[in-house]
Structure 1
Amino acid sequence: MAGLELEAVRVWIGNHEILKGVDLNVAKGECLALLGPSGCGKTTTLRVIAGFTKAQQGQVRVAGRNVADTPPNKRNVGLVFQDYALFPHMTIAENVGYGLRMRRLPKAEIASRVSEALAMVQLEHVAERFPANLSGGQRQRVALARALVIKPDILLLDEPLGALDRKLRDQMQVELKQLQRRSGITTIIVTHDQEEALSLADRVAVMFNGAIREIGTPEVLYETPRSRAVMDFLGTSNIVLANLATPGIMVLPNGVQLARPQVLANTGTTATLGIRPEHVQLVAGAASADTMTADLIECVYKGGLVEVHGRLADGSAIQINTTAAQAAAHGLSSQGATIRFRFPPERLQILAE
């Protein structure tokens, strides 16, 4: 059973089309991230699901029910904002139970469900405190508990970790992923943070200009994107133009020929290739037929990895991610040193412009 279905959803503001026929099918219990740059339409999509924005065309179904004409307070949707939106004058228990009081549930049931929700986010001990007395991470978990306590059909998270510092955000990513799996609630996360989307979601939908460009598992989208736009947006990439001189052979600008039997583009055309910095291989010793060279511009130490930045003979840039030990072993310690590297053919992705 689908947890969420969007069918040909279109939204205009004045003469400007914000959503251009968005189709989306999210399975019950699945966590999906809507990822894209500012202005791509991801927040508008979330607002359409929540009922705050009405789609001029298309269908919206939550848990199998058509909710296109249902007001927000009747949709049984849990919503968590980036800024938490907690009531400062209410205790944590009162904040979490607010939605239940609005539904006029019995006091005993409210107390029981609030206790259960706080236990789920491991905050039972702060029930009588006020939001101002909690850390940012604790307030975010309270906001999650408040959204979960109503037992929503779908949970919507709008930039849920954007207000946290880096270390706390990394910690909360793990906690949020575990919480979503335990609750089994269909979850939609809106974010512009690529790492957050890849870390949290079962699938990621990448949006540009009001439409979903690609959708798939984090591994598929990162490792084998179909378009240059998606590859560029999902992390760092090296882009190379190659000539497909003969079937299955890619000829790079410096004359290096790489065999790729599964190449499907027409022979004689130019293909746009992409490869991640961590997939480029440093080469030691004498050059071989598939070795390329670049002048070292800079090595940037980032703890667990070193970014090796170089420039090819044609002036284009190349980035290789490796370890400090590997960089030292290949003599990459001073500007102007020669970087020898190769592109594993199986790691090169042929991209649509």
Structure 2
Amino acid sequence: MTTTDTSAQVQRDAEGRLRHLITLEGLSRDEMIALLDLAQFYVRSPGDLPARDQSLAGHTVANLFFEPSTRTRVSFELAAQRLGADVVNLDMQSSSRVKGETVLDTIYTLQAMLADVLVMRDAEPGLPAYVARYVAPHVCILNAGEAHLSHPTQGLLDALTVRQAKGDFSKLKILIAGDISHSRVARSAWQAFSTLGVEELRIAAPEDLMPGANEFAGATRFTNIDQAIADVDVVMALRIQRERMSGAQIPDEVSYHRSFGITADRLAKARPGAIVMHPGPMNRDVEIASNVADGPQSVIQQQVTNGVAVRMAVLATIARNVQARRHFQ
């Protein structure tokens, strides 16, 4: 299986255009800004009619979710439909992988049915890059969550949410707090915020949930949440990833909330007007207090709204790049 070290190269075509989106590693600031600008174009407020166009008319998008998902799966489905695509949803229980079919045979079957955009979520590290090496030239792979390693569209929607609320990244101190070690969200957020040039990126976790020293380059590390949250502009809370831990690793929830949860008292240590984020699903009163999650500084529902817009922007951009490649062939 390929490693994430090759993902940044695999996702580009021979001319350097994005053909797949597997990781935010290697994307330039200009590329990220272009995706955020297009996503902002697609943003609509709850209650408004959603943005629609025909960027994906004639395309078929297949959603392959081999791990549970609500927000990511539904938002990719809505994004593709609102861009005019035909959409097929496939999960583990309804696929032939439960009968022993290899993932490549599943992919080959879908591309033989003329699916040309494959959205993948899987617990196996390196799988999106591995599949991208073998698909037909017209097929694009979008990573919707890869093990603990990468969740690029989540990183983009988090960046969009921060930009909407706070503007200039260069003046911001951002804290990502919780189970950093097991979090693909944290890794993609770190890539996005680092590329966009935040003033300071902090990560905070109990010692057992802190990533290795070779990860999160440039981030300031804290094991004390009260110190970490002081004077920040953005607080992103992460849930404990029980599904990626052995039973002995899972912290006691009451003790965890007391020592590391984002509470109203702790949030008061941040800068006035600091925003609170969470990628979902939330464990209320574990990593984040309910009155914080639902409070005036929370932008959690805005993140969900932005998820559809960001995935529309990614799908439209990938489709445009594929069309450009076909035009010059």
| Greater helix proportion | 2
User: Normalising to structure 2: TM-score of the pair?
Assistant: 0.32
User: Normalising to structure 1: TM-score of the pair?
Assistant: 0.30
Larger radius of gyration: 1
